[in-house]
Amino acid sequence: MKISRARNVVAVVAGLLGAMTAAAAVNADEVADFYKNKTLTIWSGLSPGGSYTAYALILKDYMPKYIPGKPTIIVGSRTGGSGRVLANWMANVGARDGSMFGLIHERMGLEPHVYPKGTRFDGRKLTWIGSMAKQKSVCYTWHTSKVKTFEDAQKMTAIVGTSSSTATGSVMPRMLNSMAGTKFKIIRGYDPAEVFLAMERGELDGLCGYGWGSMKTARPDFIRDKKLNLILQFSNQSHAELEGKVPVMMDYITNPRDRSMLNLVFGTQEMGRPFVGPPAMPKARVAALRNAFNMVMKDPAFLADAKKRRLEIDPITGETIEKLVNELYKTPKDIATLTAGYRKPAKVGESKRRINWKKVDVTLSKKKGRYVYFTAGGEAHRAKLSGKRTKVKIAGKKAKTKNLKAGMKCNVTYPGHHGMAKAITCQ
């Protein structure tokens, strides 16, 4: 009797395992059938030429071979609001069949809870694929600045540049001024690349809120040549490369409420380069994409290429991001609201940049992405383009930035090399 029962149990277990194996095979076949001869799009919600998009570009080169069906992968651009435009589009318009996913700013998944203005998605419902790196932002000044340490910043004024009121480069110095008694003066209206040039000109002391990984990608020469005073890390724990060399902000903050706000801000840095898809994607395809992502992160050729491209790799899985986002959404609303308050300009110690516009007659040598290139004053320059803010005329008629081409003779109004063009008038 006992032998008979044992045989029955073995038979049942074998049957279940067989069914599971068959189901897995069916799922694999379904995924392969879907992706075979298909194009998968990775949308970037940030600047096409920036350090975030660089991660999307390298991922598309190595991910196809790990996805059943081996689809072709391309990178597209849907910019605006540090990925808010892309997240809204994915949640409400984009295809949910697994044919696309995107890259957004690390804090964007939590925006509906912290700063809901303009958001039309719930980060807990998005499909998290994985993150390629953690984000540790730093506060730094130029090597000639009198403010060389955090203690100096508590005693002397340091002028820092940033792009907008809600940028990290505005939020973090505001928090420092309020929580730690620093004396940062914030000037808004600089593109990050312009901040570098403004520091070299002596126009700014530095920038407070720029990713260490981004710095290694954008200006490794500043690090190599010791052109920066690294004042502080914005994190709970030190980056391994900065351990014992650069203090972390949390070590200076004792107020429990302030620490709660910082835990919310720093929590999103764990997913520093997050790839995410729309809600309700087919589970088998999600599993395949997550597995492919994880496999790429271990690929020796990928890791060697990433090192060559100066991209920091410190990945976490999609499942881990999902748990993190759900946990951060549990932060009390009053703490989230207080944190969002630091997105607004302070009443003192801030101003908008006063721009001295330059007008030059040039021949465009190149148009690439959101930039036009030309020679001005014997030096190679480029000017950034904006579909809304750059007014373009060609042959006396209004035109779009996409109509600009190499060889055109134009008058360019811009603040200088790397700056946003105000107007471009071409023959």
Taking CA atoms, 360 is separated from 172, 243, 420, in Å, by 36, 47, 14
Q: Please state which of the ranges 26-30, 105-109, 354-358, 383-387 shows the lowest mean pLDDT.
A: 26-30
Instruction: Report percent pLDDT > 70 for the chain.
Output: 93
pLDDT in tens, 290-312: 999 999 999 999 999 999 999 99
Cβ-contact 53, 46 below 8 angstroms: yes
Q: Per-residue pLDDT averaged across 19-30, rounded?
A: 56
Write down the mean pLDDT value for the chain: 91
In CATH, what number does 358-426 get? 2.40.50
The string of DSSP letters for 106-134 reads TTGGGHHHH--TT----TTTSEEEEES--
Same fold, 36-133+272-340 and 358-426: no
Q: For position 11, what pLDDT does the model report?
A: 52
Instruction: Select the CATH number that applies to the domain covering 137-266 from these four: 3.40.50.300, 3.10.180.10, 3.40.190.10, 3.30.390.50.
Output: 3.40.190.10
Instruction: Report percent pLDDT > 90 for the chain.
Output: 77
Instruction: Select the CATH number that applies to the domain covering 36-133+272-340 from these four: 3.40.190.150, 3.40.50.10790, 3.40.50.720, 1.10.10.60.
Output: 3.40.190.150
Secondary structure (3-state) at 88? helix
Residue 44 has pLDDT above 50, yes or no: yes
Q: Per-residue pLDDT averaged across 68-94, rounded?
A: 95
Top-confidence residue, 387 or 58: 58
Taking CA atoms, 339 is separated from 42, 185, 331, 336, in Å, by 31, 20, 11, 5
pLDDT in tens, 188-222: 988 777 889 899 989 999 999 998 988 988 889 99
Q: For position 217, what pLDDT does the model report?
A: 82
Q: For position 18, what pLDDT does the model report?
A: 53
The string of DSSP letters for 325-336 reads HHHHTTS-HHHH
Residue 6 has pLDDT above 80, yes or no: no
pLDDT in tens, 114-166: 999 999 999 999 999 999 999 889 999 999 999 999 999 999 999 999 988 98
Q: Tell me the pairing of strands 371-376 and 379-384.
A: antiparallel
Q: For position 325, what pLDDT does the model report?
A: 97
Please report, for the chain, the start and end positions of each structural domain, with discontinuous segments joined by +.
Answer: 36-133+272-340, 137-266, 358-426
The model's confidence at residue 111, banded by pLDDT at 50, 70 and 90, is very high
Residue 24 has pLDDT above 60, yes or no: no
